[in-house]
Amino acid sequence: MHGESSFASSATDNRPRTILITGGTGFLGSSLLRYLTEAGNNIILLKRSSSNTFRIADVLHLITSYDIDRVPPEKIFSHHSIDLILHCATNYGRECRDPRTLLEANLFLPLTLLELGSRHGVQCFINTDTILDKRVSAYSLSKGQFKEWLKLHSSGMTCVNVALEHFYGPGDDRSKFVTFIIRSMLENVARIPLTLGEQSRDFIYIDDVVEIFSRIITASRNLGSGYYSYEVGTGETIRIMDFVESVKRIVGNCSTITDFGAIPYREHEVMASVVDTSAISTLGWNNYVSLEQGLGRTIDAERSIL
């Protein structure tokens, strides 16, 4: 079931809501947390006691925060009347040798919250997903598995799955591809080993992602029970090879060797990423930051902290 017609006809309603958010200390989650807090919502953040809160230090005093490794989730739901759950916590599995660690963030935690939400009358659960096919990696497989559980619970709750393409922007982790390439170019590293770079990807700037989420959250008030799926991207793609060379050009790097072909493609590599933007267009969103503009902003921000 898709929510295009329902979202398109939903009336604007900006009354504050109580929103429980996971992953609020990460790049995407912190951007959403700040936006939702400034909009006047009552935010409940679930994090780990070891989480670094530097991204949200200036708004921590405005929200309620719980350490999920110290406070049972059941206690949180019994103490708060939660309207919406926004699951942004993600383990990409890049340095994860134990699959249980990856499954905890991508499957077990959101499933626990989904079941608690069902029992406590939560109106809506919004899940952040990936556009990647589940066969590509353990990360995409775990995200795909939770999506099936989300569908299972949609008979009694508004369940929204938001599949994201490559989002980027200032302050993202260096382990992410875009930030890694930008930092490497700014630091004039001697060589960057890469695949052949023939894959095409859709890169979307963080401000646009936040805007789309805000529209989904607002529109979700008027949805009934059901499963609603949205793919988030600009609808325009660029080859990885051309993307890397664009970053090199904008930075003004003349020395780094971009060693295309040094790394083999991963198994089940997606060569052509295609995002269906028809659903998000019904939200009234059709204007986005161009790749040239977004890269320029991100490069300027990263250069300022080197």
What pLDDT does 142 receive?
87
From edge to edge, which strands make up the β-sheet containing 158-164? 64-67, 42-47, 18-22, 84-87, 124-130, 158-164, 226-232
What pLDDT does 13 receive?
59
What pLDDT does 288 receive?
87
Give the tokens for residue 269: 């590599």
Rounded Cα distance, 163 and 112, in Å: 21
Segments making up each domain of the chain, as ranges: 4-168+203-235+274-285
What DSSP assignment string belongs to 127-145? EEEESS-TTS-HHHHHHHH
pTM of the model: 0.91
What pLDDT does 240 receive?
98
Rounded Cα distance, 279 and 142, in Å: 24
What pLDDT does 94 receive?
66
Rounded Cα distance, 261 and 281, in Å: 37
Rounded Cα distance, 227 and 125, in Å: 10
For residue range 18-76, list pLDDT tens digits in order.
999 999 999 999 999 999 999 999 999 999 999 999 999 999 999 999 999 999 999 99
DSSP strand pairing (158-164 vs 200-201): unpaired
What pLDDT does 217 receive?
96
What pLDDT does 280 receive?
95
Q: pLDDT under 50 in the chain at which residues?
A: 1-11
What pLDDT does 1 receive?
37
Rounded Cα distance, 53 and 68, in Å: 14
Q: What is the CATH topology of the domain spanning 4-168+203-235+274-285?
A: Rossmann fold (3.40.50)
Rounded Cα distance, 226 and 184, in Å: 44
What pLDDT does 3 receive?
42
